[in-house]
A and B are shown apart, each in its own frame.
Chain A
Amino acid sequence: MGTTRGGWQVALRLARREAWRRKGQTALMLLLICLPVVAVTAAAVVWRTQDVSGVESIERRMGAADARLVAHEGPMVEQHFDPDVAQGWVGEGTRKPATLDEVLAVAGAGRPAVPLLRESRTFRTDAGVADMEVLTTDLDSPLAAGLVRPVEGTFPPGPGEVVVNRAAADRGPGLGETLTVLHKTADGEQEVELEVVGIAESAVSRGYPFAAGQPGTFGGSATHEHEWLLGGGPVTWDDVVALNRIGVAVASRHVLTDPPPDSVLTSGGSPVSSLLLDSGPDELTITVLALVVVMVLLEVVLLAGPAFAVRAKAQAHALALVAAAGGTPRQARRTVLASGVVVGLVGGVVGVVLGIGAGALAVPVAQRFNSTVFGPFEVPWPLLGVVAVFGFLSALLAAVVPAFAASRQDVVAVLGGRRGEGRPSTRSPILGVVLLGAGVAGAATGAVAGQEVGAVLIAGSALVAVVGMILVVPVVVAVVARLAARLPLALRFAARDAARHRTRTVPAVAAVGATVAGVVALGIAVSSQEAANEAEYTPLLRDGHGSVSLSNPDTDPAAVDAVLRKAGLDDQVEAITGLRLSTDTEEMELEFRQGEEALWLSYWSGLGSPYAVGETVPDFVDIAPAARERADAVLAEGGLVLLQDPHASEGSYTLPQLDGDPVAVDVRRWSDDLPEPELAATAEAPTVLLEVSGTATVLAVFSPPVVEDLGLPTAVVGTLLAAPISDETEKDVAEALAALPGDPYFYVERGYRTPDEVRIIQAVLAALGGILMLGGTLTATFLALSDAKPDLATMAAVGARPRTRRGVAASYALVVGGVGALLGAPVGFIPGVAISQPITKDPVTGTTLLEVPWTLVGLVVVGLPLLTALAVGACARGRLPLTARID
């Protein structure tokens, strides 16, 4: 044992010296190990900081009070120790919410209390109306201190005054101006005008309009609940339970800071209690997490690998001399591994320290994009410990292969000055092919397995396939070197040199390959998913056109017209007459049937009613001329036209052919005073079912006689805007319409749009992929160049132009990037194609989609390596080492 420790001591000392001696190389190794550690650490710090824990949220929830109480209509309340986590009513019936007197009788008379209310209101903006959050409480009270943070002007506001936040002030009511709050009550809409005396931010969120005032400021409250802030000393768990019995939920400072034991919470085993059991992460999450960690580790190891290989190579001569003098292979191995230990220790620690700094810098930036106010700065030490170990492990693993190579090196060749490595092993590529096969098989199994298990299986297979690919890389590199005989000098040299220095080249190529595989796999998955979403999407209107739905009788069509006229849209407006299906008290529903068989029409329309009324089919329905003729004939004879959008077909259900066949229409009436819907009317009419060629906009067209038979009212149910509407006009019109009574719904057809978050994820992944690819290629290239200094000097001596170095550099980049991309892309298809199956599977028909983003694949396989090569060629020093002293 003593000798083992001694062996390590010597090895570590050597590694330290070597690290110091080759500072540039060591810096590169540290950078590669540090960067991921820094990134993860910074992300962890930002994440922990933005996450507001129970204790951190006390001030924003209850200011300086000891508790916040909410009295419910339920007879009794059961709650988690934090009522925001879970609470529920128990017992039968309702009760009047507890009054403050009742509360104080339980909690202890003499405690100070102030009412508190958070509500959503509408306020007038410069452009129309918008929603805001209003806080009503006694802002003078010390209990409320901390709920609102004054920024500018007067605080607290007096009666008839308010403070608003920046976000609200920016939309209209600024300091010194008037805030008009709209408030719907039983007797219509009420406006409250208040003077803005100050700017203040809510402790909870920013960026969303907010106003605060004294009790009564915003007019009567709509809620039936009562809330208070309570002071006068700690509110214990026993107090909480006692208050629960009179229907009051309590968030207590004392209980939140010092929670009661679980045994108290779970007594009785009632439904709420079971909600509260924190059932740690499930197996699936852990598996996915483990896979992600392994993949990241693999990528880091591959990226750092070349640097460690070059370091080991630099020590090769010394190690060969040691071997010649009787050193064992294990000593050689240890010497190289020690480099990993030294770099890993330093890299892990330095990475964490830098990461905390980076996190501190990133917190304010992240806060700017987040409306929730972050908690205090927090450093998750145990997690960072794991991250540091990760960094250490990646450096150690990166040194493993070079270490074994060093322990097996051909001493004679090294001492004889031969710089190349021997032939590649033939066994590992066979194993690689086997693993690739296993990856394909696993992915195929995963593709047909259930959603979640399938995904894990596919991710696991992807990992197996990537490892398989790594084992195949040496052979491919050797083959490329063989084929290079006919290539131009620089490429030939780069390809052969790459093959001669396998321990350096293979991890670099594999890093690029793994990155490309990831990008291709995700690209296929995202494209397929998007294709599925797009296929599922049914447009309601022609592209760019709009509609205003008029379903609420309160909405005055003339007011809508006025808004549209102001927006300059009046000449393309078409009012749609249809069946009015709702009144203040009732709701009608239509059911179609042929004999006893129900006909299921999809129900979705941008109008107030999906049923138009007319003597002919309206122009806005896209339908073939012959079909229109037929439909108009049926309507003329008092019939009914059903329209079917082929895109909107629901699963495998198909409507029967109808060509003048009688179809019955049942009207069912829903009403508050009816326990069940009742059949109000039935009519039968000759009906045609027609397929629309574009968008249907409505589901059916009723002829006036049918409407009469059903006894339903007709009305203008909506307005169509038959012209493209710009994004800007859309925003203006929407805001103006929102101010009208009845809230008419404004819809503009934009076709299928990729959601923003998908785009952001795509952009981030693309950037990350590009950076990793570039990083892998660049480190390998510049390490290769420094290794090839003697060869470049020789070239110079026989007359190479200085820029030959650029050519050689670009060629290295092309070989590493190109081979990596060519290998990685097919490997990426394995999980990509597999995962596209479960995620695009139609739940009804079971059909799946596969969309390969060929542009992306082409870009990654051809474009990026070429681009990298060009960039490397441009950046490389165009100077050859001219010294002929090489030995």
Chain B
Amino acid sequence: MTDPVLRLTDVRRVHGTGATQVEALRGISFAAYAGELVAVMGPSGSGKSTLLTIAGGLDQPTSGAVVVEGADLTGLGLDARARMRRTSIGYVFQGFNLIPALTAAENVALPRELDGVPARTARQEARAALEEVGIGELADRFPDDMSGGQQQRVAIARAVVGERRLILADEPTGALDTETGEEILRLLRARCDAGAAGVLVTHEARHAAWADRVVFLRDGVVVDETGTASVDLLTEPAAR
């Protein structure tokens, strides 16, 4: 088997010190391979978001290794990790997090432009990415003038532009209605089928059905790792 796009090895993350100390992750190991969409599930406060920020290089683990496309993020400086996020890792948030001062196309082009790609080229790539998620005609709109679903598509376009191979999505459908949410997941799935590795944090078993694999977290540890077949069984009680 080929090397995974993302590999976490015995990752621990402790927030704060002393009495207020919280151990968000307590030794997590898991990997995501190219072409695969991994769902991460677990109750609130189990460490899902923390896991994702560490995988995305936004946060550093207290101990353990985080390897993305062969590079160990824990050994990289702020600048180098920023470069990883521009070139290898795409991030999709629950709250869309588009920059309101930039148009849809400019938002999508942002990582490319930050990477030094000429503005014109970046804008073209962005338009292509927007076409791909089905909203090419909204390229020059500002986020405030778009619906939530449209904004999230822009966010996905931004996460995939520039052929990035690791897509991290933290409850990307949380603020959307069911139908729009399904549409967003379909886009994610398509991206993974095209060769990217995806990690999807979600609360809903229904969404986990789009994934190839589900990782269950509880109190900062992986309690189960399974195929999608058993997802329904395992999560129904928790979801209620």
Contacts and interface: CB of A to CB of B under 8 A. Distances in A.
Name the residue in B94, B98, B99, B159 with the highest tally of chain A Cβ atoms < 10 Å from its Cβ: B99
Contacts of B101: 492-493, 496-497, 500, 791
Interface in A221-264: none
B106 A800 contact: no
Interface string A792-822: 0111111111101000000000000000000
A488 B86 CA distance: 17
A886 B93 contact: yes
Name the residue in B94, B101, B106 with the highest tally of chain A Cβ atoms < 10 Å from its Cβ: B101
A882 B78 CA distance: 10
A781 to B, nearest CB: 15
Interface in B82-100: 82-87, 89-91, 93-95, 97-100
Contacts of B115: 799
Given A798-B114, A800-B82, A418 B58 contact: no
A492 B106 contact: yes
Name the residue in A488, A797, A799 with the highest tally of chain B Cβ atoms < 10 Å from its Cβ: A799
Given A796-B85, A797-B56, A798-B85, 8 more contacts: A489-B110, A794-B98, A797-B85, A800-B86, A801-B82, A882-B58, A883-B53, A887-B94
B59 interface: yes
A798 B98 CA distance: 10
Interface in B29-56: 49, 53, 56
Contacts of A884: 49, 53, 58, 91, 93, 97, 170
B113 interface: yes
Contacts of A172: none
Given A801-B82, A802-B78, A882-B58, A795 B100 contact: no
Contacts of B56: 797
A17 B27 CA distance: 43
A341 B98 CA distance: 37
Interface in A719-733: none
B100 A791 contact: yes
B144 interface: yes
A492 B107 CA distance: 12
Interface of B: 49, 53, 56, 58-59, 78-79, 82-87, 89-91, 93-95, 97-102, 106, 110-111, 113-115, 119, 144, 158-159, 170
A296 interface: no
A419 interface: yes
Given A799-B84, A884-B91, A794 B99 contact: yes
Interface of A: 413, 418-420, 486, 488-489, 492-493, 496-497, 500, 790-791, 793-802, 804, 882-887
Name the residue in B85, B95, B97, B170 with the highest tally of chain A Cβ atoms < 10 Å from its Cβ: B97
A795 to B, nearest CB: 7
A800 B102 contact: no
A887 B113 contact: no
A795 B112 CA distance: 12
Nearest to B79: A801
Contacts of B97: 790, 793-794, 797, 884, 886
Given A418-B100, A489-B113, A802 B106 contact: no
Nearest to A497: B101
B195 to A, nearest CB: 20
A799 B86 contact: yes
A641 to B, nearest CB: 76
B144 A418 contact: yes
A795 B144 contact: no
A497 B106 CA distance: 14
A499 to B, nearest CB: 8
B116 to A, nearest CB: 11
B100 A419 contact: yes
A798 B95 contact: no
Nearest to B159: A798
Contact of A493 (B82, B95, B102, B111): B102
A795 B99 contact: yes
B102 A496 contact: yes
B99 A802 contact: no
B114 A489 contact: yes
The 6 A-B residue pairs with the shortest CB-CB distance, nearest first, are: A799-B86, A799-B85, A496-B101, A887-B95, A497-B101, A798-B111
Nearest to A797: B91
B182 to A, nearest CB: 22
Contacts of A493: 99, 101-102
Contacts of B59: 882
Nearest to B84: A799
A494 B49 CA distance: 30
A492 B82 CA distance: 21
Contact of A799 (B49, B53, B95, B111): B111
A503 to B, nearest CB: 16
A55 to B, nearest CB: 64
A47 to B, nearest CB: 48
Nearest to A419: B100
A491 to B, nearest CB: 11
B197 to A, nearest CB: 17
Nearest to B52: A884
A883 B15 CA distance: 13
Contacts of A791: 99-101
Contacts of B102: 492-493, 496
Name the residue in A493, A793, A794, A802 with the highest tally of chain B Cβ atoms < 10 Å from its Cβ: A794
26 contacts: A413-B144, A488-B119, A489-B113, A489-B114, A496-B101, A500-B100, A500-B101, A791-B100, A794-B98, A796-B58, A796-B85, A797-B85, A797-B91, A798-B90, A798-B110, A798-B114, A798-B159, A799-B82, A799-B84, A799-B89, A801-B83, A802-B82, A884-B49, A884-B58, A884-B97, A884-B170
A418 B99 CA distance: 11
